[in-house]
């Protein structure tokens, strides 16, 4: 991709940033309530910023059965079907995992976030609030990963080596700042888990099995979510933050024909967690001192006067 050598932005983005600076006005994706909340903390918006990346998905992994290459509990049943299968998560790197796809999902999102951050720097912003990450099909093929938010700055504040990014609303951003916390950056936890049909799953999920837990599905969901949370925690550490506040948790479930065993299914779960890593920077700020209220009751007013005169 061609970029402006001075700003590191695509030519169209660099031209848009120059137009915003020359106009002396700014745009935003903020509501009136969000705008006033951000202003109450000493920040002000400097412009709407955007980052996008279109990726073609080629090799995604997951073409082998997740049961093969793993371990089997209790050996094999009829037609070579395992009595008990295992869940293969994308971070495990085992056969049948979707590690290449997840790596692409991380790379595409981070490319979009990085380009959005570069626009924020070009406008002199200290960070981006209200970021929304979206994925959509590109008409010519592939997927478009887009990050859009509002760049903000603290007038008179020192420039940052890298602006922060946050998916918090303006009100939530203000609450964090007033409580002594600051956003460090958007963090992601992505995992795809796959599990082959086994005898236990088939018997528990068939019609007539009654009200019973399908232990294989439970393990698939739990293992994939746990893996996504581990990836999220690593991202928090990478930002040097103290913790994370979550804005969005998604899970998609699907299945496909097993590539090795005809007539059997491989079940797939995709878990995505998006949040804002935060760091503590000082004591909570109070917006105003408490107000003294005089009672309208004459007897209480007289009692107060007596106490004050002592």
SS (H, E, C) 104-167: HHHHHHHHHHHHHHHHHHHCCCCEEEEEEEEEEECCCCCEEEEEEEEEEECCCCCCCCCCEECC
pLDDT at 68: 52
pLDDT reading at 162 higher than 60: yes
Q: 127-161: buried (b, 16+ CB within 10 Å) or exposed (e) per residue?
A: bbbbbebeeeeeeeeebbbbbbbbbbbeeeeeeee
Domain ranges for the chain, please list them: 11-280
pTM for this entry: 0.78
Mean pLDDT of 117-146: 92
Mean pLDDT of 113-139: 92
Phi-psi region for residue 79, left (φ > 0), alpha (ψ -120 to 50) or beta? left
Mean pLDDT of 278-300: 60
pLDDT at 302: 59
* Percentage above 70 pLDDT, the chain: 82
- Which band of pLDDT confidence, cut at 50, 70 and 90, is reported for residue 38? very high
- How is residue 195 written in tokens? 């599990």
* Across 107-111, 120-124, 195-199, least confident range: 195-199
- How far is Cα 109 from Cα 111, in angstroms, rounded to an integer? 5
More confident residue, 290 or 240: 240
Mean pLDDT of the chain: 82
First to last CA, the chain: 79
Instruction: Give the residue from 251, 249, 291, 293 showing the smallest Cα distance to 273.
Output: 249
pLDDT reading at 285 higher than 60: no
- How is residue 146 written in tokens? 């887009």
* Across 1-10, 15-24, 163-172, least confident range: 1-10
- How is residue 67 written in tokens? 């049961």
pLDDT reading at 4 higher than 90: no
- Which band of pLDDT confidence, cut at 50, 70 and 90, is reported for residue 306? low
């Amino acid at each position: 991709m061609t970029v402006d050598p001075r700003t590191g932005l695509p030519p169209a983005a660099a031209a848009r940033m120059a137009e915003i600076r020359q106009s002396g006005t700014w745009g935003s994706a903020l509501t009136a309530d969000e705008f006033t909340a951000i202003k109450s903390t000493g920040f002000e918006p400097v412009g709407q910023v955007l980052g996008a990346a279109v990726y073609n998905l080629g090799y995604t992994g997951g073409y082998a059965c997740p049961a093969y290459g793993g371990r089997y509990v209790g050996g094999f049943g009829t037609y070579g079907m395992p009595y008990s299968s295992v869940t293969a998560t994308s971070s495990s790197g085992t056969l049948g995992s979707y590690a290449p796809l997840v790596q692409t999902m991380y790379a595409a999102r981070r490319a979009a976030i990085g380009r959005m951050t570069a626009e924020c720097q070009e406008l002199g912003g200290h960070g981006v609030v209200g970021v929304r990450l979206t994925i959509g099909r590109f008409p010519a093929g592939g997927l478009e990963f887009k990050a859009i938010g509002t760049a903000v700055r603290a007038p008179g504040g020192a420039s940052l080596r890298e602006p922060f990014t946050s998916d918090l609303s303006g009100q939530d951003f203000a609450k964090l700042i007033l409580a002594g916390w600051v956003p460090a950056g958007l963090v992601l936890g992505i995992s795809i888990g796959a599990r082959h049909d086994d005898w236990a799953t088939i018997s528990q999920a068939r019609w007539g099995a009654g009200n019973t837990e399908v232990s294989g599905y439970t393990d698939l969901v739990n293992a994939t979510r746990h893996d996504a949370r581990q990836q999220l925690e690593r991202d928090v550490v990478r930002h040097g933050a103290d913790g994370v506040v979550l804005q969005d948790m998604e899970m998609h479930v699907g299945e496909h024909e097993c590539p090795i065993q005809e007539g059997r299914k491989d079940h797939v779960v995709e878990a995505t967690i998006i949040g804002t890593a935060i760091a503590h920077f000082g004591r909570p700020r109070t917006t105003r001192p408490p107000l003294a209220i005089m009672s309208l009751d004459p007897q209480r007013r007289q009692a107060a006067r007596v106490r004050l005169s002592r």
